[in-house]
Amino acid sequence: MSLFQSISLPAWAEGFKAVTSTCECCHRTLTLGHLSAQKAGIKMSDNWYCSSSCFTSAAELRLSELMMSKQAQASHVSRMPLGLIFVSRGLLTSAQLREAVDEQKETGGEIGEILVRRGWLSEMQVTAARAGQWGCPVFAIPQCVMQTDIQVPEVLTHFHSAIPLHYVTATKRLLVGFVDGVEYGLLYAIEQMTGCKTQPCFVTPSDFETQIQLRQSALERSGNADTGTLTFENVKTPAEMARILCGYVVDLEADEAIICRYKEHFWIRLKCGPKEVDLLFKAG
């Protein structure tokens, strides 16, 4: 039911257990049958809002709070440089490391990629060393599509070369693979949005690229290349974000909105019955 429509108790709902909902914004109270209550208004942050105006005001306030808040930074942990790890293990000579560092200074790039490209180390050796730096396991991805019930916008995961790999429903634990280093801010955003617990691991660059290609091919074969993420660039104010958000809430007849922030992005998930739609705003 649209948030612009008045809410009344349908005849078929008579006899069902009554549920009382109070709007957090205007304090309007409605008593509905528990089946129809799911279609009236929208829930956000465990609060219920009865109309588009109430929801827009609450969403703007929430987005303003997130925009003003400082993002927590993960505490720095001193890690032995990757090249020195290989030298200490006898896998690389000091002369080879100096050559790789000189190339890195001239052309940029990551030291591990340079060592693999020169043929001095394998991808797995570099990945295992990175995993050791972060105290994480290495996950060998099978040559098949690994789909999870937890969806994360590709804009966020690809930026950090991260990929959701495996979800265990019983424990609500999601395994997330990284190529270069663990981005704990992303893991925290996923936990806020989904309610699951994340566990980082490392994968080789080849396994990562293969998995991305397999997933894209599977989407194309299914005719469903749209991942359900709507992106908005350079949105200036919380008021503008809230206005756009409310338009989608009304059009999709969403039941619930979940909002979190990850760096310069505001990630919003709309739950519309069994369907979920992600909106990703990048603050201008």
pLDDT tens string 113-130: 999 999 999 999 999 999
Q: Please indicate, yes or no, if residue 247 is contained in any of the structural domains.
A: yes
Is a pLDDT exceeding 70 seen at residue 185? yes
Taking Cα atoms as reference points, which of 46, 72, 56 lies closest to residue 238? 56
- Among the candidates 134, 151, 171, a domain finishes at 134
Highest mean predicted confidence (pLDDT) among 10-19, 143-152, 219-228, 233-242: 233-242
Task: Tell me the residue range of the domain where 109 lies.
Answer: 82-134
Is a pLDDT exceeding 50 seen at residue 1? no
- Among the candidates 109, 134, 159, a domain finishes at 134
Is a pLDDT exceeding 50 seen at residue 156? yes
Q: Please indicate, yes or no, if residue 109 is contained in any of the structural domains.
A: yes
Q: In the chain, how many domains are there?
A: 2
Is a pLDDT exceeding 50 seen at residue 8? no
Q: At what angle do helices 238-252 and 52-68 cross, to 10 degrees?
A: 140
Distance CA 78, CA 133 (A): 9
Predicted model pTM:
0.81
- Among the candidates 134, 162, 178, a domain finishes at 134
| Average of per-residue pLDDT values in the chain | 84
Q: Please indicate, yes or no, if residue 185 is contained in any of the structural domains.
A: no
Q: Please indicate, yes or no, if residue 3 is contained in any of the structural domains.
A: no
| pLDDT classification of 37: cutoffs 50, 70, 90 | very low
Q: Please indicate, yes or no, if residue 194 is contained in any of the structural domains.
A: no
Q: Please indicate, yes or no, if residue 140 is contained in any of the structural domains.
A: no
Q: Please indicate, yes or no, if residue 130 is contained in any of the structural domains.
A: yes
Which pLDDT score, from 0 to 100, does residue 32 have?
Answer: 55
Q: Is the same domain home to 63 and 114?
A: no
